[in-house]
Structure 1
């Protein structure tokens, strides 16, 4: 078998055998067939790489096709026509109401989701950007993966935001053009603001210590310079002699110089002092507000001809939306960091319970009496508290970089109102409370369970009410990563939905209907991270449902929905002008910020006797998995060795000091947790529990899900995920560690050349627990899957996807190839001679590294043990002759060639398979 066609044909034949022998594993058998060929020399790693390349090609075409279908149509002409119909309004007041409040805030976040190489991303984006057939041109040759640094992530975010800005300008200009035609005497009074953009790349301190405060300042200055440069280009296109050009150019040059100042290491006081003094001193080109420029542009537009007026108004609209930066920015800290900071003020002895009424009373008194303090860059440099340092950094940005754009302060793991009051205190202490939106993040199981009471208590606080009215909004963040990991994706989404409804009630009950509700839903780019695969309508409605939106409409509260486009995979939506316009057009026409107050109630919310029990049963099932040692051990069986490095933030918690065998799920971040499930072949945090929750009540649950739009949406998610899942694959991974398999493989002389290696593996793995772990997990998944299939049979499939069978076969072939490579790596590892120059190398340690796919560590040790380059006699100017050494060290080169190099190459190919599988699933994490 040397072609994918032969591979998939064989896999189909093997699947038929499961009818005769239910426990037969086609995926593992195919890997054994391939392994035998490979070890016999009938198949080479070159042959395997050829098949992987073909399957990689299919996966990239699948990703491009999925992206295009989600936001279709993608042609600029088609979207211009759609927008023309959308721009039509009954009267000018209705037009302004439609266009002057953002229908969506889009946040460009990062984390480990830069799966594709730049060449692959460009190829996928280009293929998805037209209606032409997606061909093999999408299949770019494998190139070197770039080092994914924070600066790389920031550059990618800025590129995506620039395309989003251009698409928004195009939409605004078209809306103004139609307004000019419909209301020629009034249209200049409109101030369109259909979208806001934001980013936390470079400002998110939750879970990482590698971002220095001057990195954040440097990023903000660089964004200011880039945005000013784009404003200059836009104004120059309107009039290359415009009098405002000199002002904007001077501000651009000044900002570029200051960005360069903060791009260096400012750890030393002298370097910081020089950079800080230059930035903070008065300078004629130090622009801190665009308000005067916006006013001049809009005043000029009133008396200008149509085309010039529209262009001037469009530029003014972009300035009003973005300010002196590429976007608004989000800082993020953990609640524990904020607690540590506030204790220094109210509880230096660490005796006060911050959730107590006493703590709340103390914080109220502090907020009423606090006197703002001046601060400077020196104060920022010497501050040791992460949370206070963030407030000091925000103060310097507002005072010396952009005085107009507000800054979001996101607080992770926020579970008590006192945390918010502490954040308000520091905002007041540094004089920036009028520019900072403090936003609690509800993501943990506890936060989601008690979030309603949290909001009731917080919104009842007079101090907070005053603050919310001054800012014009109540802001919260709901997270789908840790929630999907620890609660399960479906229970998390339903719990978040209920929390959003409770927010509407709390705002209404506390008289806060005069401010907006800003809800930031931080879902990722795949099913296990809160992104629905059913198209863009589902993508927008899954994290913020029509039911939740109606609660705000009926309470008379303006809604500001906010979603994330996460990392390289998410940025594909804005990777080309065509994709950016298509994405924003879909959002504009779907109107995620509005909903009819008169829409009938979905049965899912009316039949709470069924839906609540269903939700609780799925959540309970997911919790059982999470608390199970079997689940934890299976997910950590290979550490994170199945995954590519796809982000600058470490995938394990930075406090992780544990060995791989004792790794805890909480030490693996949410995105790689989700990615490991995909690589093992079964998205447990999406599918599991749905079937068991219907057990004993299949007909009623099926009827509810089928009669409900929310239920149908849930079923679409489950079907899409289940179509990619394979319990046989999960079980196959366990067979790699089956001592009996290795002992039996050369039985009856079938592979006598492997006898020694197989015997060594069999003996070593007698003490390994992973075979039993994977078998137990697979058994639990099968029982639940039987119930799921029984439920789905009762629900008509309104959107069958026959192409998914091809995708399943591709994934099966990829998994079999990877299992083949893993077996090859195991055999090579135990076949390496035990002799070593470095006597401190433990062979068992190296073997364990290979078995847990810590291949880089294993290779480093092996190269120490078997160097191919070391000093020779000819390197020394010694007069006395020597006959020793009498060998040339060639043996080590043989070991390098026959064992170490194949081990490294096999692992590289395994990681390429991981990318292809992630493409077929839709995203990495």
Structure 2
């Protein structure tokens, strides 16, 4: 078998055998077929590498097709025409109302999802950016995977935002042109603001300590430099001699100099003092507000011809949206960091329960009496509290870099109102409460369960009400990462939806209908993280449903929806000008900030006797998996060894081998958890529990889901996930650790040359638990899947995709190929001659490293035991003759060549297959 088509044909033949033998595993059998050919010399690693390259090519084509399908059409002319057809306002007032408030805030976040090297990312994006057939030109091989540093992530975020800004400018220009043609006497009063952009790359301190405070200042200065450069380029295209260039160009030079000041290491007081003094000193070129420039551009546009006026107003709109940066910025801390900070001021003895009424009363009094304090960079440098340090950094940014653009303060794991009051206290203490939006994150099971009471209590606080009116909004964040991991993706989405409804009730009950509700729904691009894969409309309405939006609309509360485009996966939507324009045009047409208030109630919300039980049953099923040692052991069976490094914030592998065996699911972040489920072949936290929840009531549940738009959306998500899933693959990974398999493989002399290696593996794995673990998990998943298929058979398939069966078979071929490579690694590992124990590392330890895919660690120990670089007698200028050594001097080179290098090469191919499988799923994690 030397082509992928041959692999798929063989896999299809094996699938037919399951009719005769239900327990037969086609995926594992194909892996065995390949393994036999590899170990028998019929094929070699070169052959397998060619197969991997072919699968990579197929996966990149699949990814390009999916990207194009989500945002199509992609040609600029079609999107210009599409936007024009969607402009249906009859009056200028209606047109203003439709376009002077953002339909969406798009946040470019950077958790570890930079799966593709830049060359492959570019190829996928370019292929998706036209209506041409997606061919083999998308199949580029990256020279090597770059290290994903924070600086790399920030650079990629800024590239994506730059394309988004250009696309928004095009849309704004077309809106102005339409208004000028339809309302020639009024159009100059239009100030379009269809989208806002933001980023937390370089400012997110939740769960990481590697970002120094001056890194964040440096990033913000760099963003100011980049944005000023883009403003200047836009103005030069309008008029190369425009008088405002006399303000912008010196401001750019000043910002560049200050950016250079903060680009280095500022840990030494002398270096910091010099950089800080230059930034804080008065300077005529220190531009802190664009308000005068916006007014000047708008005033000039009033007397200009139409084309020049549109260009001037488009530039003014960009300035109004972004300020003196590439977009708004989001700082993020953990609630525990805020608790530690506030205790220093109200509870140094750590005796007060911050959730108590006494703590709330104390904070209420502190907020009423707090006097703002001045701060400087020296205060920032010596501050030890992470949370206070973030407020000090925000104060310096607002005072010395950009005085206009507000800053979001996201608080992770926020479960009590006192946490928000503590944040408000520090905002007031440093005089920035009028520019900071404090936003609690609801993501954990506890936060979602008790979030309604949290909001009721918080919004009842007079100090918070005053603050909300000062800012003009109530801001919250709902997260689909940990929620999807610990609650299950479908229960999490429904719980988040209910929480959003509770927010509308709390705002209405506390008289806050005069401010907006800003709801930031953070998710990744995979279905396991809250990104619906079927359409862009589903992607936008899954985290913020029409039901939730109607709650705000009927209460008269303006809505500001916000979503994340996360990491390398999310940035693909904005990675070319064509894709950025297509993405924003789809959003402009879908209009996620609006809803039809007269729409009838969706049956899912009316038939709560059915829907609530259905939801609770799915949640209960997901919880059983989460608390199951079987599930935890299966997910952690390979540690994180099936995954590529995809970001600067990663979950570290345990150095202790025993710890690997007992690794807790909470030690693995949400993205790697989802990614492992993809690689093992079954997105448990998306699919599991739906079938079991309908057990005994299939017809009634199916009828409800068919009648409900939200229910059909749920089914579309489940079908999309199930179309990529394979329980046989889950079971196949367990067979790698089946002692009986290895003992039987050379049975009757079929592979006698492997007898010794298979005997060692069989004996070693008699004490391994993973075969049983995977078998039990597969059995549980199979029972649930039977019930899911029974339910789905009663519901019409709304979006059947022809390519799904091909993708499914391609994933199966990739999994089988990887199983063959893993078997090759296992055989080579046990075939290496035994070496003596050194530095508390034994041969069994090294084998366990290979079995848990800690391959880099294993290779390091092997090379240490069998070095190929060692002193040669010819290195010495010794006069006396010697006949020893009398060998060929090869030493351990043969062991390196025959065993160690093949393990390394095979593992490299394993990781390339991981990328291909993730591409077929459409995202990493």
Secondary structure of 1:437 counterpart: strand
Residue 89 of structure 1, CA deviation:
1.8
2: CA distance between counterparts of 1:351 and 1:471?
34
Quickly say closer, same or farther: Cα 1:284–1:656, change in 2 above 3 A: farther
2: CA distance between counterparts of 1:801 and 1:195?
32
Q: Any gaps of 5 or more consecutive residues in structure 1?
A: none
2: CA distance between counterparts of 1:882 and 1:177?
91
Partner of 2:915: 915
- Answer yes or no: is the 8 Å Cα contact 2:654–2:660 preserved in 1: no
2: CA distance between counterparts of 1:466 and 1:443?
26
Partner of 2:122: 122
Which whole-Å deviations, capped at 9, do the CAs of 1:677-722 have from their partners, x for residues lacking one?
A: 0000000000000000000111110000011000000000000100
Residue 770 of structure 1, CA deviation:
0.2
Partner of 1:53: 53
Once the two structures are superposed, the pairs formed by residues 104-123 of structure 1 within 5 Å of their partners are 104-123=104-123
Quickly say closer, same or farther: Cα 1:417–1:41, change in 2 above 3 A: same
Q: Does 1:186 align with 2:186?
A: yes
2: CA distance between counterparts of 1:524 and 1:658?
32
Secondary structure of 1:771 counterpart: helix
Quickly say closer, same or farther: Cα 1:261–1:21, change in 2 above 3 A: same
Q: TM-score, normalised by structure 1?
A: 0.99
Once the two structures are superposed, the pairs formed by residues 431-580 of structure 1 within 5 Å of their partners are 431-580=431-580
Once the two structures are superposed, the pairs formed by residues 798-837 of structure 1 within 5 Å of their partners are 798-835=798-835
Q: Does 1:592 align with 2:592?
A: yes
Which whole-Å deviations, capped at 9, do the CAs of 1:194-253 have from their partners, x for residues lacking one?
A: 000000000000011111111000000000000000000000000000011121011111
Partner of 2:410: 410
1: CA distance between counterparts of 2:28 and 2:232?
60
Partner of 1:625: 625
Q: Does 1:396 align with 2:392?
A: no
Residue 842 of structure 1, CA deviation:
1.3
Which whole-Å deviations, capped at 9, do the CAs of 1:62-85 have from their partners, x for residues lacking one?
A: 110011011111111111011112
2: CA distance between counterparts of 1:154 and 1:602?
42
Partner of 1:670: 670
2: CA distance between counterparts of 1:543 and 1:655?
38
Partner of 1:217: 217
- Answer yes or no: is the 8 Å Cα contact 1:656–1:667 preserved in 2: no
Q: Which segment drifts farther, 858-867 or 781-790? A: 858-867
1: CA distance between counterparts of 2:87 and 2:274?
51
Once the two structures are superposed, the pairs formed by residues 140-155 of structure 1 within 5 Å of their partners are 140-155=140-155
Which whole-Å deviations, capped at 9, do the CAs of 1:470-513 have from their partners, x for residues lacking one?
A: 00000000000000000000000000000000100110110000
Quickly say closer, same or farther: Cα 1:794–1:88, change in 2 above 3 A: closer
Quickly say closer, same or farther: Cα 1:251–1:640, change in 2 above 3 A: same
Partner of 1:761: 761
- Answer yes or no: is the 8 Å Cα contact 1:127–1:134 preserved in 2: yes
Q: How many residues align?
A: 925
Partner of 1:784: 784
- Answer yes or no: is the 8 Å Cα contact 1:207–1:653 preserved in 2: no
Quickly say closer, same or farther: Cα 1:553–1:655, change in 2 above 3 A: farther
Partner of 2:9: 9
Which whole-Å deviations, capped at 9, do the CAs of 1:505-534 have from their partners, x for residues lacking one?
A: 110110000000000000110100000011
2: CA distance between counterparts of 1:700 and 1:610?
8
1: CA distance between counterparts of 2:839 and 2:624?
46
- Answer yes or no: is the 8 Å Cα contact 2:822–2:906 preserved in 1: yes
Secondary structure of 1:108 counterpart: strand
2: CA distance between counterparts of 1:371 and 1:656?
51
- Answer yes or no: is the 8 Å Cα contact 2:837–2:843 preserved in 1: no
Secondary structure of 1:880 counterpart: coil
Residue 841 of structure 1, CA deviation:
4.1
1: CA distance between counterparts of 2:597 and 2:736?
57
Partner of 2:616: 616
1: CA distance between counterparts of 2:222 and 2:640?
34
Once the two structures are superposed, the pairs formed by residues 156-235 of structure 1 within 5 Å of their partners are 156-235=156-235
Quickly say closer, same or farther: Cα 1:558–1:690, change in 2 above 3 A: same
2: CA distance between counterparts of 1:277 and 1:658?
52
Once the two structures are superposed, the pairs formed by residues 276-291 of structure 1 within 5 Å of their partners are 276-291=276-291
- Answer yes or no: is the 8 Å Cα contact 2:501–2:548 preserved in 1: yes
Quickly say closer, same or farther: Cα 1:355–1:654, change in 2 above 3 A: farther
Residue 866 of structure 1, CA deviation:
1.2
Residue 888 of structure 1, CA deviation:
4.4
- Answer yes or no: is the 8 Å Cα contact 2:716–2:798 preserved in 1: no
Quickly say closer, same or farther: Cα 1:476–1:662, change in 2 above 3 A: same
Which whole-Å deviations, capped at 9, do the CAs of 1:802-849 have from their partners, x for residues lacking one?
A: 321111110000000000000000000011111369676411111111
1: CA distance between counterparts of 2:267 and 2:627?
44
Residue 91 of structure 1, CA deviation:
1.0
Partner of 1:92: 92
Partner of 1:640: 640
- Answer yes or no: is the 8 Å Cα contact 2:830–2:847 preserved in 1: yes
2: CA distance between counterparts of 1:899 and 1:654?
25
Once the two structures are superposed, the pairs formed by residues 29-44 of structure 1 within 5 Å of their partners are 29-44=29-44
- Answer yes or no: is the 8 Å Cα contact 2:63–2:919 preserved in 1: yes
Partner of 1:321: 321
Quickly say closer, same or farther: Cα 1:739–1:654, change in 2 above 3 A: closer
2: CA distance between counterparts of 1:771 and 1:876?
54
Secondary structure of 1:659 counterpart: helix
2: CA distance between counterparts of 1:589 and 1:652?
42
Residue 796 of structure 1, CA deviation:
1.1
Residue 783 of structure 1, CA deviation:
0.4
Q: Does 1:858 align with 2:845?
A: no
- Answer yes or no: is the 8 Å Cα contact 1:74–1:131 preserved in 2: yes
Residue 595 of structure 1, CA deviation:
0.5
Residue 653 of structure 1, CA deviation:
9.0
Residue 439 of structure 1, CA deviation:
0.1
2: CA distance between counterparts of 1:38 and 1:563?
47
Which whole-Å deviations, capped at 9, do the CAs of 1:841-896 have from their partners, x for residues lacking one?
A: 41111111100000111111111111111111222233333333333441411111
1: CA distance between counterparts of 2:854 and 2:73?
44
Residue 600 of structure 1, CA deviation:
0.5
Residue 662 of structure 1, CA deviation:
1.1
- Answer yes or no: is the 8 Å Cα contact 1:837–1:865 preserved in 2: no
Residue 651 of structure 1, CA deviation:
2.2
- Answer yes or no: is the 8 Å Cα contact 2:859–2:904 preserved in 1: yes
Q: Any gaps of 5 or more consecutive residues in structure 2?
A: none
Secondary structure of 1:890 counterpart: coil
Partner of 2:344: 344
Q: TM-score, normalised by structure 2?
A: 0.99
Partner of 1:236: 236
